[in-house]
Structure 1
Amino acid sequence: MIEVKNLVKRYGDHTAVDHLSFEIEKGKIYGFLGPNGAGKSTTMNMITGYIASTEGTVVIDGHDILEEPEEAKKCIGYLPEMPPLYFDMTVLEYLKFVADLKKIPKAKKASMIEEIMDMVKITDMKNRLIKNLSKGYRQRVGIAQAVLGYPEVIILDEPTVGLDPKQINEIRELIKGLKKKHTVILSSHILSEVSAICDYVLIISHGKLVASDTPENLGKLAAGSNNLNLLVKGQKDTIRAALESVESVKEVTVKKDTKSTEEGVYSVTVGTEENTDVREKVFYSMVNADCPILEMQSKKISLEEIFLELTESEKKDKNPEKKNSGKPFFKTAADAENYLNEKDSGESEAEENGSDEEKEEE
């Protein structure tokens, strides 16, 4: 449906979008996720033809956005972050104006506007001035203008920004309903929104694509990096040996608990296999080793933590001294999981070695 290849946008020395490539398939909701300033809106503007790219191509349903702009734009309905509304018009006047801009045939215009107003639930507001509407209703009017003409692709840039929780839920339900007839691209920096709505997630940071997968697979990534955090009293070597003997335990990190006033209390992190609950086995293992568990907490890496890890890693790679570090693009959650596990393993080992060295100095 949409094919983006090596898309680049530069403003002087600043690169807002850096060789971005991805494909959008028909009939799905895509989440374009990234922190503020990541290049999401710039990418949306280039896909819609609002601004020209420095390099690369955008092909929409076989039409290049730069070479065949009119044909390509007929396939797109766009809601920018700031909806393009005329506040001194009524809702109905505005939608008639947009319909004329989109060259919708007069025979279809009235019925289409009525149908779309019912769909986005603004029929009761059709004779009110847009300036007198709440922000939630203005967003609905913005979505209505994007849907007018029934384009195959609907692009929504931060559609729920500034809305209250009730309005956010209403807009989310509305977006889900669009999937029945349209392909939707949703740009956002709100993780819960993307998880709740989207069939596929693209994570962008500093103009680069750093991860691409379904929410389910990203969820598996979170579940696959299970950690069990313990506070245990006993001998360090005894604790480690007992835990390493437990089935499904992948790695064990034991270090002195700095917050405890008691002697022989250790903070322990147990890494487990994917979708495995080892709490009961760990409990009996510690009982047999005569090492009482003072605290036990099961922790899973959340989508938020994965997102922060990926975007922070990309930020570090921007360091001039590491410019050619060659951090790979994570095409799937499995690629990202391997990267995170290797990184966490290295950090845990470094912390443990540091702890042992401190003990020797004491």
Structure 2
Amino acid sequence: MSIAVENITKLYGEQKALNSISFSVKKGEIVGFLGPNGAGKSTLMKILTTYIPATEGIAKVNDFDVITNKTDVQKSVGYLPEHNPLYLDMFVKEYLSFNANVYNIKKQRVSEVIEQTGLTPEAHKKIGQLSKGYRQRVGLANALLHEPDVLILDEPTTGLDPNQLVDIRRLIQSIGKDKTVFLSTHIMQEVEAICDRVIIINKGEIVADKALKDLRDGKEQTVIVEFDYRVEDEFLLKLPNAISVNNTHDFVYEITFGTSQDMRSHVFDFAHDNQLKILQLNQKNESLENLFRALTSE
């Protein structure tokens, strides 16, 4: 396993930031670690990168224990923290070369990560002159310098504009072809765009662990339909595979079906047979946002 977490608990005084959480990440997976602010995401990432110790439990990266094999873990991990620490008065290439010397890495590697992260046009600028999107690229380049097997990224797209978001997403997806990526965020769209799997944490506890494919290919679906006239629920429940009906307002109904088959044609036929006009007809499958709200709302 690239990452293995077993019964990790973290206390700050009497406050419990993490409460006996366990999960594992296979080699080559891109996993989104999703949760509201204060849920414990950054705390776990700091434990996995050896910045802070857990109060209880065991955590391993590439089979190295984060307590007893710190140096091996640090060699295995590329880390981009939430607040990307950069020397703004240094030039991009100068900053990366400085860190390469710390790692005792050949200077050729600096040129490779600059090209890999799309920094070539900005390589001779001072970091303080760069947009936030390019500063994030510098952070990613630095995390990749020592060719780690595992990338741990804490809120890598926070504060970026839409164009920068797309660029960083593509970059992370490209990196994820060769490495395990553990990505923390509170933005559902990031997980849906980048990840193979999502782990949701709330109040220090894991409340969901799902493959994105399973979430998209759910066995239930909800169809939203608006008629031009009120229809009794009992008639709509006679539709094939219908399991519940909710009249949300006026003549708008949410019909839940116990099948992944698209049932909108059946609703259309029902309206035609009963001389009803359809004003809107949409499919509302379970989404990551709906799951997140259901599991993290007060």
Q: TM-score, normalised by structure 1?
A: 0.75
More helix by share: 1
Q: Does the C-alpha gap of structure 1 residues 242 and 52 become closer, same or farther in structure 2, counting only changes over 3 Å?
A: same
Q: 1:298 aligns with which of 282, 287, 290?
A: 282
Q: Structure 1 residues 230, 4: CA separation in 2 closer, same or farther (over 3 Å shift)?
A: same
Q: Tell me if the contact between 1:248 and 1:276 (Cα under 8 Å) persists in the aligned partners.
A: no
Matches of 1:253 and 1:88 in 2, distance apart?
A: 59
Of 209, 216, 236, 1:219 maps to 216
Note the C-alpha offset of 1:298: 2.8
Q: Which sections of structure 1, spanning at least 5 residues, go unmatched?
A: 260-265, 316-362
| Structural mapping, 1:150-169, within 5 Å | 150-169=147-166
Shift of 1:275: 2.3
CA spacing shift, 1:116–1:285, aligned 2, 3 Å = closer
Q: Aligned-pair RMSD on alpha carbons?
A: 2.2
* Structure 2 equivalent of residue 64 of structure 1: 65
The alignment status of 1:249 with 2:242, answered yes or no, reads yes
Q: Which moved more, 1:155-164 or 1:294-303?
A: 294-303
Q: Select which of 249, 263, 268 maps to 1:278.
A: 263
Structure 2 portions without partners, runs of 5+: none
Q: CA deviation at 1:141?
A: 0.7
CA distance in 2, matches of 1:281, 1:200: 33
Higher strand share: 2
Structure 2: how far apart are the matches of 1:137 and 1:253? Answer: 48
Task: Give the residue type in structure 1 aligned to 2:9.
Answer: V
- What is the aligned-residue identity percentage? 40
The aligned counterpart of 2:172 is: 175
Code of the residue aligned with 1:242 in structure 2: it is F
Give 1 or 2 for the bigger CA radius of gyration.
1
CA contact (8 A) 2:223 2:264 kept: no
CA distance in 2, matches of 1:268, 1:133: 50
Secondary structure of residue in 2 paired with 1:101:
helix
Q: Tell me how far apart the structure 2 counterparts of residues 119 and 241 of structure 1 sit (CA, whole Å).
A: 59
Once the two structures are overlaid, the 10-residue window that deviates more, 137-146 or 302-311, is 302-311
Residue 4, structure 1, aligned to residue 5, structure 2: yes
- Supply the distance in 2 between the matched residues of 1:183 and 1:241 (Cα, whole angstroms): 50
CA–CA distance in 2 between the matches of 1:99 and 1:155?
A: 19
Mapped partners of 1:125, 1:277: distance in 2 = 49
Q: Aligned partner of 1:159: which letter?
A: P
Q: Which residue of 2 aligns with 1:334?
A: none
Distance in 1 separating the partners of 2:263 and 2:61? 49
- Cα distance, 1:75 vs structure 2: 0.4
Query: C-alpha offsets along residues 69-106 of structure 1, whole Å, 9 cap, x if unaligned?
Result: 111111001000111211121112211221122233xx
Q: How many residues align?
A: 296
